[in-house]
Amino acid sequence: MNLDLGVYYPIKIGEKRELRLSGDWFNVFNSQRAITLDQTFSINSGVTGVPAVANPFYGSAQIVQAPSAFRFGRSSPSKRCRCCRRLEPNPTGESARE
């Protein structure tokens, strides 16, 4: 099972501006299950007359889930559109996140 958590704290700056402090915690339970397993059963040397040998890593994990990680950030989203409450583009050219 993989669980991610996120939180943000808005800070009003004046009447129309806001600063958001945010934090995210990825893979809360630190589960590192295998994503890809080695599926090569035998290894062939490519030399004529040399028999293939069993792959000792057959069935073992090649890629696992990323470990638990934290991310902290800040953003200053633009004002919201009156009709649909979506964020309008930031006049400074920065991308705004919801």
The pTM of the full predicted model, rounded to 2 decimals, is: 0.56
- Go through the chain and tell me how many residues it has: 98
90 compared with 52, residue with greater pLDDT: 52
70-98 confidence digits (pLDDT tens):
999 998 876 666 666 665 555 555 554 44
